[in-house]
Structure 1
Amino acid sequence: MRLKPAMRYQLREYLVAGGFFWGISVVLMLLSIWLPLHFQLDEYQVYSWYGFSCTIFFFVFGIILPRQATRLCIQMGVSRRTAYLSLYLMAAVASLCMAVAGQVLMLIGNAVADQTPFGTGLQDFLVGLFQTLYRNGGTMTALDQALAVVFTAFCMLALFSFGLFFTFLFWRLSKVGCIVAALAIPVVLTGVPALFETFAQALSPLTFLLQQVGQFFAASPWGGIVVFLVMTAFFGWIGWMLIRRTNIRGGMLSRQ
């Protein structure tokens, strides 16, 4: 298995995109601290944008990166199984790095905000996705910090897998199928709630199952991690079923 070159093909995209994303996050953090001081505000707003933004970042990356990376791997003699596995390994490494970087960013931001007039004794000016869901913005211990990194990383990986499923679905479909699927997605998203309301009695077992999953997710961060792992495995399996028989042409390399 040629995992190392397959992952190296994707490294530049992650470094460039991740660097821009983290740079923008630093700018937003500084603005969130500077603006209350500049306008002499006595109150502050808790910011929890980083974790949510990272999930969107990986969902979009799951849509735009896999097709190009897979075609390039095929051209360079890497099997599609290895290429597919490399997508997840590279995303796992990148998501872990982004999660650690987010915790560092929040620790630095809170330390800086703590020195400002409106932040005396402040410990939760910047909060993450984990802290928003499970700690209600409260102060976290060192163990919580480590758990937050794992939770956020798995969340990013699950959203990456969801985006990867979409890109391989549209890759496999014909032009007519892509149009039908694109039109069907918003119909399904808007129609499912109405369907559950109309056929509430018939769909009560499914409704009960979804409620149990939601309660399991909300009860503990470990429950949330399990849900994200199941999502990653489920969409990853569907993605592999889609890509294993897809006609893949090699990517285009620039001639020197």
Structure 2
Amino acid sequence: MPTALITGATAGIGAAFARRLAADGFSLVLVARDEKRLTSVAEELRLRYGVSSEVLAADLVTDEGLEAVERRLREGVDLLVNNAGFGLQGRFLDIPVEEEVRMLKLHCEAVLRLTLAALPGMRERDRGAVINVASVAAFLPGGSYSASKAWVVNFSESTAMEMAGSRVRVMALCPGFVHTEFHERASIDKSGIPGFLWLSADNVVREAMRDLARGVLVSVPDLRYKAVVGVSRLLPANVIALVSRRLGRR
């Protein structure tokens, strides 16, 4: 039975990955900070899908948390989903630097270290995959959140190229606005975001798994957001930044 390790597994896209992979017959390693919530999710998955789920409570902005997950990855997994992340409310100059550094540690250092922990075993077995959850924001100017997600995309593409010639795949997943706890946790006002731009986490995961099977390097779920990314490559950055702000990104 293949094994998948998912960070940020208790809600949103991470929980949707857990449901999809459990339905596909994966044994799961669920990672998040809240052990009680992790245990509840693991039990729900066991009852619904009959799969076993390891619970690994870890705070990935700490070295101790990262080291614990690195150790588990070195034991061997078939799929790593680097999904944990958060956003910050306000403009760059108004946000405490400590919060900015925490976000970069989670979005960049954790993705780097966990990917590096998983890939050697995958390459040795000549099978496996890593999905790094980024965002459509990676293609839009929007503060350090967008910058960190742009790093995830570039890192994933570069690492995928290093795995060329093997059966190990690395993919960046770039969803748009998704119905999750993300905005509530960051106290971000969603009222300025048009309803037609919202996606469901389950649909995002379904398209992600399809793209992974096809060997896509950067998955952008939904035609609407594929169009957004395409247009963003054509318009001046200041225009894109204005539209992004008006949609409630900042």
* TM-score class normalised by the smaller sequence: 0.3 to 0.5
Give the TM-score of the pair, scaled to structure 1.
0.32
Give the TM-score of the pair, scaled to structure 2.
0.32
Structure with more helix by fraction:
1
Structure with more strand by fraction:
2
